[in-house]
Structure 1
Amino acid sequence: MPENTRGIFQTARDAVADARVRGLFSNKKYREARDLANELLLRREILGKSHPSWQQCAETLLEIYYVSGEYERAVRLMEDAMRFTDENSQLYFTRLSKLAGLHEKMGAYESAEPLYLQALQLRKSTLGDEHPDVMSSLSYLAALYRKLGAYQKAEKHLNDAKSILDKSQSWHRKREPVYENWLVSMAMLQHAMGRYESAEPLLSEALLLQEPRQSLGERPERFYATTLSLHAGTCAALGMHQQAEEHFVKALDMRRALFGTNHPHVAASLHEFGVYRMACDKFSAAEEAFKESARIRETTLGEDHPLLAESLSALAECYCFKSFQTGFEQGYHEALKLLKKVGQIRLKTISKVLRSVSESRRFAYLQTIESTLHLLVSLVVGPLHKDENARIAAFDAVLKWKGITFDAQLAEEKDPELAMLRNKLARLILDASSREQVEDCEMEIERLEASVTRSMDLRERLEQATVESVTDVLPAGCQLLEFLLYRQTDFAKSTQASRALCYAAMLVGPAVGAKVWHCGVAQTIDDKISQFRRLVQTPALPNSIGRRKDFDAVGSELVHLLLGPLQDQSLEHLFIAADGELSCLPFAALPGSSGGFLADALWTVSYLLSGRDMLGREVASGGGEPVIVADPDFAWQGPPKPEEFGAPHSECQQCRSADMDRDIKFDKLGATRAEGVFVHELLGGTLLLGQEATVSRFKSIHAPRILHVATHGFFLKDQPAACSTRLEAALSTTDNPYLRSGLALAGAQAWQDGQLESSGVITAQEIRQMHLQGTELAVLSACDTGLGEIRRGQGVLGLARAFLLSGARTVVMSLWQAA
């Protein structure tokens, strides 16, 4: 038989075999279709994997794997197929995007993002910025960012995708699926952000477009089932229960018919249905749905998948509410077991995600999964408060959770390129550079932050943080008091009841065990903290007896709420890891039991970011001679020109902070020169005064054993309505707390007045890039240096944190104005 005839027959046989596979697939006989496709693929390897016949068969098998939920096999085949695909072809771009989607399905978010970004850049450079495939890439990235809690970034990508859609009316109606996908993606984001009223019309429109198309076979039913399920969840949130019930049942039935009973999509429907049932207080029905969802997810996705943690966490919550309703206490203990398992899964996921995303997105991601920790603490301060094992489990979880972003930040500070870019960003903002320059620098910083921590072994450090390990390092007479700001779940109320932010306290020490107690509603305690701080800062009044009475009353109430079992104990040293506004409470200044202050009770009080810090960090030794920086010449206008004899000095003031409620002005601090000279006489070392206390000299400080800084500090709390000074105008363009806080050095006021080109201020962003490894003590002798942006569970972001990140072992800071 001639060669060309043989080729024709082979092509015909291939077409028949491929059609048979497609027929089995269309009839939902996935296993038979998969086996036949595998057989054909193996047979066609003789032609080479770049041959169109092999590639076509691989594409069919990939779709079968995807629909069957066999994501690991799909990844291996996709990577194999891509090695023999032209890297400049649209097929390669599509496969790259699908590969990212497979990693996302497997919960490997840290692997998915760079693949999505690569596909987006390739499509933009090859197809143009306004091609529909670019829109698809933007939507896929937005979906990933939504899962990671980066809602603002997700919304930006979806808005960019919509702009492409609006400009491309010529293909808009021809490619309705693209528009449908955008509607669903935006609705999912709105739902995640709690904007149910915005999500519902988007999903309704998507259903109207999808329903006729899927009934005609033009649109796969799985997309319609997904939209239907999402719409049901939104209707439930809006109180449209009848429609929600109908759509949940219909979506579940469709997915079971499409995929069988043991598929991740079916598990998703069961989970969503369980959430709805629990919201209706139908706990038995919800329990069955969550159990089946968890079983399917563990079987198909693996025991470490984030979606399994989601189902188990929901099942634990269901057990808690059902136990209260029935009085069957064993349910609480079953919930505890589940939450421990969820914690193990979360730990693995967190360690992967945090080392592969930028700094700002770490906080966002943690917020998406913190509810599990809050449920555990609610369980332990509530029905299981007498259970020692439960208290230890909760304390262990908090030790691993709190301050977790600090560990990732420490790894970043060692990267010289990242340090250079962060310094550049600070200068760009202070120099009022164009928004485009700032955004380009920010994007490059985000890229580097996501890459430099990839080798960080965060999980090992977190696993070491336990009550037992902390107790072992606490000397006799010392105790650790850990606070957590959490949303309390009251199992006596409806599952839909609002969950108030509260404080919980946890105490551990030698011969003490683990104690946990509920402190109270955060807003009430925060108000008392503000009142107490005002009383502490107020100068002595003529009616000092009345002032002391108010001080004792407010302070004693705080002692009662926060210190609980500690009140009657005799301690040598108390380590406090605060959270929320407690980070701004001077515990040592609280009233003691016999008059005076808490500090008078022979307690040494030290503050930690997290109790995990008791286990120690890698700290360099052998710091150099002390450095004292004091009395900078704020009016200094740079090196004098020949005709100049010196710069004028402003009148002295005593308050060492720029008052952010008024114009920011850096007046001379006369007392700081005497302070600096005194400390220098005491310690020796290098003394930088007046015109020597410049930003460049400050940045060049390298690992002194002690660093003492006496100058103005600043922190811009909120975006000002109107900017009255040059510094305010510069800082108002950013919400980065490290850029909105810093120290004033030589020339700071001259720059404010437009008499100096260089700013004369150093931001916390720049301070965190300094080399202070080996510095045992950094003293910030300025006003409010302990203040900053408070992030739940992660501490205060500002000046003090910057010095810790730069390597300083201990930082002495102020919580009020220093005279």
Structure 2
Amino acid sequence: EAIPLAERMLAIRKKLLGNEHPDVATSLNNLAGLYSRQGKYADAEPLYRQALEIYKRLPADEHLNVATSLNNLAGLYEKQGKYADAEPLYRQALEMRKRLLGDEHPDVAQSLHNLAFLYSSQGRYADAEPLYRQALEIYKRLLGDEHPDVATSLNNLAALYESQGRYADAKPLYHQALEMRKHLLGDEHPSVGTSLNHLARLYWGQGDINRTFEFFTQGVRVEEHNLTLNLAVGFERQKRDYVNTISDSTNAIISLHLNSATNNPKATRLALNTVLQRKGRILDVLTNSQKILRQRLDPESQSLFKNLINAQSQLSHLHLFYNYNEQYRTQVTQLETQIKQLEDQLSRRSEEFRTQSQPITLETIQKLIPGDAALVELVQYQPFNPKPSPDKRFGKPRYAVYILSAKGETKGIDLGDTETIQKTIELFRDNLLYPGADITQVKQSARDLDKILMQPVRKLLGNTRKILLSPDSALNLIPFEALVDENNRYLVENYSFTYLTSGRDLLRLQNHSPSQQPPVLIADPNFNRPGELVARQPNANNIDAKNTRSIDLSQRVFSPLPGTAEEAKAISTLLKVKPLTGAKATEGAVKQVKSPRILHIATHGFFEKAPANKEKTTLDENPLLLSGLVFAGVKPRQSGGEDGILTALETTTLNLAGTKLAVLSACDTALGNIRAGEGIYGLRRALVIAGSESQMISLWKVDDDASKELMVAYYKKLLDNQGRSEALRQTQLEMLKGEMYQHPYYWAAFIPSGDWTSMDK
């Protein structure tokens, strides 16, 4: 609520007073402070610097506002761990304030406190303690014993004692700070959450697990309240930055269970409950928001939404077709600003956005798990140790897994360090992506990864064979079906997998919208229109590039895919619809669909890494620009009124509410920018945001002929009323038993995501 007011005030002051007025600097400082609170450090720093320069240019160089700006900029550096940059600025601010205000002033106390906090963060406890004490005494004398600044001083002095293992000194100060903050700020203020988490950490360090659990539970409740408020409005990166501000408590709660309370059912449930509340949360918010927008838009909101779609299309076009130069930078900046403003305006127009998030509990999710299934929630976390100094509290990332069934207790175990698992994943994928690899070698790499990931899980699953799998980070890049168990059998032979972003997806899958169109099939695009075909290029794995559904955007190779024409013909006969092929298979046609029962697209897909010659900030704001699909007319950039490349960013605005199944029969459609805790920023994410109930997507460059065989067999089983996931599994088993496509390169490329049930349910 504060940011749009601060932005408006800044604009008004600039207009009325000019860019060099001290009031403009004040507004810059205020806005930067808000950004900093949300973890948007890259946005805050230039504003703090601008404010500092304005104050320095004023006639009195020793103006108090210079000290304030120095202090603010130092605080920003400190939050990012840039202690060497922060310390001289804090010192300058302290000396300036003492000189101008004397030793007895709240601003002097603030500078003392900030410098002490910096020293404490570096483990310089002997330097920090006297400064903390001086600041606390000044605050008490000037502000009284009951004041938020006094509470902050008490809390941080307690943290200093805790870091030194002086628990008896720390405990009463923490409790004083907590009660003062509750009394002055209310039970749900973020500072109350901070105090609760600090107390949890203190009791953990003393080995009192019950009190640790008690305070972490209360702290999570406060953080969840504020998370809901801050995710209700704003643009996506703003939401990501805010979620990052509470990552420490997520890591600590998981670590509490896995490292200190392995057999404590309460700790296990708290850990999984926290994961369910936070993992994939932004995707959940965006999907619900998009649904509300489509169903409840008034005329003015419809206009805003149309402008948002147009701005995202323009940004996608710029990213794909323009060289990086000053004009490009200017246009991109303008479009990004416009997109942020439109997203924010749209979210603020709907009261439902502010009320849609209901409390998410483990019990709520558990009720939605079928009796014959189990939720397997994989999570990457950083181990937290409550005893070492602050700069050594967090260890190297590791993976853990939590298992939840319809009945019974939650189970959770640590799986190992991320670095080791990552190396094993890379070897596994290297073998999968080369169909000429010896099958014994493939199975060995699959077995090595299974030992780490799924063998420990199977011991906890018992007889359960249906797995609702929610991977995290790099685990999103592998088909678990192709792992090999201790009996040398692929897991697909004994287990059925459905992929989720988070167990919280089960809530969304309960809400079904009616389809408004029959199935839509788009395949075999004429990329060149009438024109000469591009020369064929071999790819790195010696697979004929002509015959795989992928493209190299840097080379702009758009070779025809004859298998997609046969695929579309066979599937269209089954579905009794006419496919859009050749010149009709355009990007414009895709953008015009309105909740088709099935959306099937067979074409080139791509995922590219962020190019070095373009602004990183652009792709950080919009990572969905890096993956997409190619359509007819892409060469002359005439594709039904579009440029011929549909990015994942543009895909988010498709109207797929009521679409039971979205199939991307293309390459790399499950790939994208990986963000731990939020899944992959790619086409799968985009299809979920657009409203589709389930998705079938690919993990690598798929073979054209094999994909056609797989898809036709899949639809036959789908129409035979088999479940959306089970139909794929049975198809994979048939290919595995056949002669031509036994290698998992052919049958394991596609994975099912979302609703696994029959299409008729």
TM category, shorter: 0.7 to 0.9
Residue number among 675, 680, 687 corresponding to 2:579 in the alignment? 687
For the 8 Å contact 1:339–1:376, the answer to whether it is kept is yes
Residue 354, structure 1, aligned to residue 231, structure 2: yes
For the 8 Å contact 1:381–1:516, the answer to whether it is kept is yes
Residue number among 121, 133, 137 corresponding to 1:237 in the alignment? 121
Higher RCO, 1 vs 2 (CA within 8 Å, ≥6 residues apart): 2
Distance change (3 Å), C-alpha of 1:699 and 1:380: same
Matches of 1:283 and 1:668 in 2, distance apart? 70
Listed as ranges, the matches of 1:274-293 within 5 Å are 274-293=158-177
Matches of 2:159 and 2:388 in 1, distance apart? 16
Amino acid at match of 1:535: N
Note the alpha carbon deviations across 1:97-146, whole angstroms, 9 max, x for none.
xxxxxxxxxxxxxx322222222122112111221110111011111111
Q: Which residue does the alignment assign to 1:192? A: 79
Secondary structure in 2 matching 1:629: strand
Q: Which residue does the alignment assign to 1:125? A: 15
Shift of 1:316: 0.6
Shift of 1:191: 0.5
Residue number among 540, 551, 569 corresponding to 2:446 in the alignment? 551
For the 8 Å contact 2:158–2:169, the answer to whether it is kept is yes
Q: Which residue does the alignment assign to 2:623? A: 737
Secondary structure in 2 matching 1:738: helix
Q: Which residue does the alignment assign to 2:36? A: 146
For the 8 Å contact 2:234–2:344, the answer to whether it is kept is yes
**Which residues of structure 2 form unaligned runs of 5+?**
294-300, 537-545, 704-761
Note the alpha carbon deviations across 1:526-580, whole angstroms, 9 max, x for none.
2222221222222133x443443333233333323555523xx332421011211
Secondary structure in 2 matching 1:813: strand
Listed as ranges, the matches of 1:441-460 within 5 Å are 441-454=335-348, 455=350
For the 8 Å contact 2:564–2:603, the answer to whether it is kept is yes
Distance change (3 Å), C-alpha of 1:394 and 1:556: closer
Distance change (3 Å), C-alpha of 1:519 and 1:778: same
Matches of 1:286 and 1:142 in 2, distance apart? 33
Q: Which residue does the alignment assign to 1:328? A: none
Shift of 1:336: 0.6
So what's the TM-score if we normalise by structure 1?
Answer: 0.78
Shift of 1:438: 2.7
Secondary structure in 1 matching 2:629: strand
Note the alpha carbon deviations across 1:149-208, whole angstroms, 9 max, x for none.
111111121233244345xx34242x6112111101100100011101100000111111
For the 8 Å contact 1:625–1:686, the answer to whether it is kept is no
Q: Which residue does the alignment assign to 2:632? A: 746
Listed as ranges, the matches of 1:367-382 within 5 Å are 367-382=244-259
Shift of 1:350: 1.0
Residue 438, structure 1, aligned to residue 313, structure 2: no
Matches of 1:538 and 1:114 in 2, distance apart? 52
Residue 532, structure 1, aligned to residue 424, structure 2: no
Secondary structure in 1 matching 2:339: helix
For the 8 Å contact 1:592–1:599, the answer to whether it is kept is no
Secondary structure in 1 matching 2:699: coil
Amino acid at match of 1:215: G
Shift of 1:457: 5.2
Q: Which residue does the alignment assign to 2:754? A: none
Shift of 1:657: 1.8
Distance change (3 Å), C-alpha of 1:458 and 1:281: farther
For the 8 Å contact 1:483–1:505, the answer to whether it is kept is yes
Listed as ranges, the matches of 1:436-515 within 5 Å are 436-454=330-348, 455=350, 463-491=358-386, 495-497=390-392, 498-515=394-411
Q: Which residue does the alignment assign to 1:672? A: 564
Q: Which residue does the alignment assign to 1:588? A: 481
Matches of 2:109 and 2:352 in 1, distance apart? 40
Shift of 1:748: 2.2
Distance change (3 Å), C-alpha of 1:235 and 1:572: closer
Distance change (3 Å), C-alpha of 1:593 and 1:624: farther
Secondary structure in 2 matching 1:762: strand
For the 8 Å contact 2:604–2:629, the answer to whether it is kept is yes
Secondary structure in 1 matching 2:623: coil
Secondary structure in 1 matching 2:523: strand
For the 8 Å contact 2:450–2:485, the answer to whether it is kept is no
For the 8 Å contact 1:626–1:686, the answer to whether it is kept is no
Matches of 1:450 and 1:424 in 2, distance apart? 14
Distance change (3 Å), C-alpha of 1:788 and 1:460: same
Matches of 1:795 and 1:273 in 2, distance apart? 38
Matches of 2:354 and 2:244 in 1, distance apart? 19
Report which stretch shifted further, 603-612 or 417-426: 417-426
Matches of 2:365 and 2:353 in 1, distance apart? 18
Matches of 2:552 and 2:163 in 1, distance apart? 48
Distance change (3 Å), C-alpha of 1:165 and 1:731: closer
For the 8 Å contact 1:430–1:731, the answer to whether it is kept is no
Shift of 1:750: 4.2
So what's the TM-score if we normalise by structure 2?
Answer: 0.84
Note the alpha carbon deviations across 1:647-670, whole angstroms, 9 max, x for none.
22335601212347x645222222
Q: Which residue does the alignment assign to 1:228? A: 112
Note the alpha carbon deviations across 1:298-328, whole angstroms, 9 max, x for none.
11111111101001101111111122xxxxx
Matches of 2:219 and 2:155 in 1, distance apart? 16
For the 8 Å contact 2:372–2:464, the answer to whether it is kept is yes
Distance change (3 Å), C-alpha of 1:180 and 1:731: closer
Root mean square deviation of aligned Cα? 2.5
Matches of 2:45 and 2:655 in 1, distance apart? 38
Matches of 1:798 and 1:444 in 2, distance apart? 22
Amino acid at match of 2:629: L
Q: Which residue does the alignment assign to 1:47? A: none
Shift of 1:495: 4.9
Shift of 1:460: 6.6
Shift of 1:764: 1.2
Matches of 1:368 and 1:730 in 2, distance apart? 25
Report which stretch shifted further, 243-252 or 181-190: 243-252
Q: Which residue does the alignment assign to 1:705? A: 597
Note the alpha carbon deviations across 1:28-49, whole angstroms, 9 max, x for none.
xxxxxxxxxxxxxxxxxxxxxx
Amino acid at match of 2:671: L
Distance change (3 Å), C-alpha of 1:491 and 1:201: closer
Residue 171, structure 1, aligned to residue 59, structure 2: yes
Q: Which residue does the alignment assign to 1:106? A: none
Shift of 1:795: 1.5
Matches of 1:224 and 1:798 in 2, distance apart? 50
Larger radius of gyration: 1
For the 8 Å contact 1:155–1:189, the answer to whether it is kept is yes
Matches of 2:311 and 2:574 in 1, distance apart? 37
For the 8 Å contact 1:619–1:774, the answer to whether it is kept is yes
Report which stretch shifted further, 668-677 or 299-308: 668-677
Amino acid at match of 1:690: G
Shift of 1:360: 0.7
Listed as ranges, the matches of 1:52-67 within 5 Å are none
Q: Which residue does the alignment assign to 1:33? A: none
Amino acid at match of 1:171: P
Matches of 2:351 and 2:488 in 1, distance apart? 49
Distance change (3 Å), C-alpha of 1:570 and 1:701: same
Matches of 2:633 and 2:701 in 1, distance apart? 22
Note the alpha carbon deviations across 1:490-546, whole angstroms, 9 max, x for none.
3575554242222221111133321111122222222222221222222133x4434
For the 8 Å contact 1:488–1:499, the answer to whether it is kept is yes
Shift of 1:463: 4.4
